[in-house]
């Protein structure tokens, strides 16, 4: 009876961890499409997470129906991704990396300083969430299977896309873009499509994150969020959607599990936080040394070999 009581006591916490992991798995799938399948280096993926979250919340607060607010957030994230890619994707790969990380910081400082729109550092509260009025008790018990369902749908659609002729062109661009170009494929157009779709997926993850947090501010969209997605992709295996999902769940299981070590180690909360990041770094180093393709990845899918 005591064991059952303990399990029930920790159930809301477990559901919350799985919920966060599912949201970041969706977020990471967008990055995996861009980098794992197309070879686009995006260091500002969090910008599109922020665009999706803030657009959804601000439009809904203005009286726009929730479903339309989410669609607008996803569409705006995709539009920004496309506009960002137009001047950069015809240049060398590292230009996209530089531009995206700069764009992410521009978005964050815009959210921080334009208080007339975003309330700046005060942030904004989420006014409504899907079916909230119909859900008794802890809303996360509904939100988790809802987000998990979205994750499954995203996974299935992406798997269908990457195994289609369109996906095979993306892979050929990743390996050597001169080959598809010589066959008459518009490489620039395919890159834009991948960047737009990846940004839209990130925007959708932003809407879901806002529903979970119920309150968002610019601190939710720091550059480190992008690198959580990179960790998930590298950990699970780039160019592998199942690996990306596994990487996201392992990452958040580690972050959550190590919270319980606080009372057993002689470190302050700040030191413990730094130690957790240190362990993640060491884990990635070991994976890159002994299994550079990731846990479920394939060596032929490595994009760093370009």
Query: Which residues is 216 bridged to in the sheet?
Result: 124
In 3D, which of 205, 203, 238 has the Cα closest to residue 32?
A: 238
* CA 271, 281, 217, 21 torsion-angle sign: negative
The DSSP result for 257-273, as a single string, is HGGGGGGGSS--HHHHH
Map residue 8 onto helix, strand or coil: helix
Q: What is the DSSP letter of 90?
A: T
Query: Which residues is 215 bridged to in the sheet?
Result: 125
Pairwise CA distance, residues 264 & 188, whole Å: 54
- Is residue 46 within 8 Å of residue 221, measured between CB atoms? yes
pLDDT confidence bin for 7, thresholds 50/70/90: low
Give the alpha-carbon dihedral of 80, 86, 91, 95, to 10 degrees: -10
Residue 271, pLDDT > 80, answer no
pLDDT digits (tens, 9 = 90+) for 184-234: 999 999 999 999 999 999 999 999 999 999 999 999 999 999 999 999 999
CATH architecture observed for domain 2-301:
Orthogonal Bundle (1.10)
Q: Where are the alpha helices (DSSP H) in 32-164?
A: 46-61, 66-85, 93-113, 115-118, 140-162
- The CA-CA-CA angle for residues 245, 164, 185, to 5°, reads 115
Tokens 């729109």 belong to which residue? 117
Average pLDDT, the chain: 88
Bridge-based pairing of strands 215-216 and 124-125 is: antiparallel
In this structure, how many other beta carbons lie within 10 angstroms of the beta carbon of residue 88? 20
List the domain boundaries for the chain: 2-301
Pairwise CA distance, residues 140 & 145, whole Å: 9
Residue 174 tokens read as 């990743």
On the CB side of 27, how many CA atoms lie within 13 Å of its CA?
A: 33
pLDDT digits (tens, 9 = 90+) for 65-89: 999 999 999 999 999 999 999 988 8
pLDDT digits (tens, 9 = 90+) for 44-69: 999 999 999 999 999 999 999 999 99
Tokens 């399948």 belong to which residue? 37
Q: What is the pLDDT of residue 13?
A: 86
């Amino acid at each position: 009876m005591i064991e059952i009581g303990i399990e029930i006591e920790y159930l809301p916490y477990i559901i919350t961890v799985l919920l966060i992991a599912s949201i970041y798995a969706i977020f990471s799938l967008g990055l995996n499409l861009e980098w794992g399948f197309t070879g686009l280096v995006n260091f500002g993926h969090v910008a599109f997470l922020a665009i999706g979250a803030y657009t959804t919340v601000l439009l809904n607060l203005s009286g726009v129906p929730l479903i339309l607010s989410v669609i607008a957030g996803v569409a705006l994230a995709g539009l920004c991704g496309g506009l960002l890619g137009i001047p950069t994707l015809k240049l060398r790969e590292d230009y996209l990396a530089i531009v995206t990380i700069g764009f992410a910081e521009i978005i964050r400082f815009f959210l921080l300083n334009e208080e007339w729109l975003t309330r700046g550092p005060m942030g904004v509260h989420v006014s409504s969430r899907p079916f909230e009025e119909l859900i008794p008790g802890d809303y996360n018990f509904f939100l988790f299977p809802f987000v998990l369902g979205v994750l499954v749908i995203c996974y299935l659609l992406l798997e269908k896309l990457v195994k289609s002729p369109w996906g095979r062109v993306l892979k050929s661009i990743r390996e050597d873009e001169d080959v598809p170009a010589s066959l008459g494929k518009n490489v620039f157009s395919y890159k834009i499509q991948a960047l737009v779709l990846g940004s839209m997926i990130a925007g959708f993850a932003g809407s879901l994150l806002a529903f979970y947090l119920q309150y968002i501010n610019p601190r939710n969209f720091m550059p480190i969020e992008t690198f959580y997605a990179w960790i998930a992709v590298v950990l699970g295996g780039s160019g592998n959607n199942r690996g990306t999902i596994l990487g996201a769940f392992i990452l958040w299981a580690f972050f959550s599990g190590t919270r319980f070590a606080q009372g057993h180690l002689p470190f302050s909360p700040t030191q413990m936080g730094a130690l957790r990041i240190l362990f993640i770094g060491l884990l990635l180093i070991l994976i890159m040394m002994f299994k550079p393709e990731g846990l479920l990845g394939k060596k032929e899918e490595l994009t760093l070999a370009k």
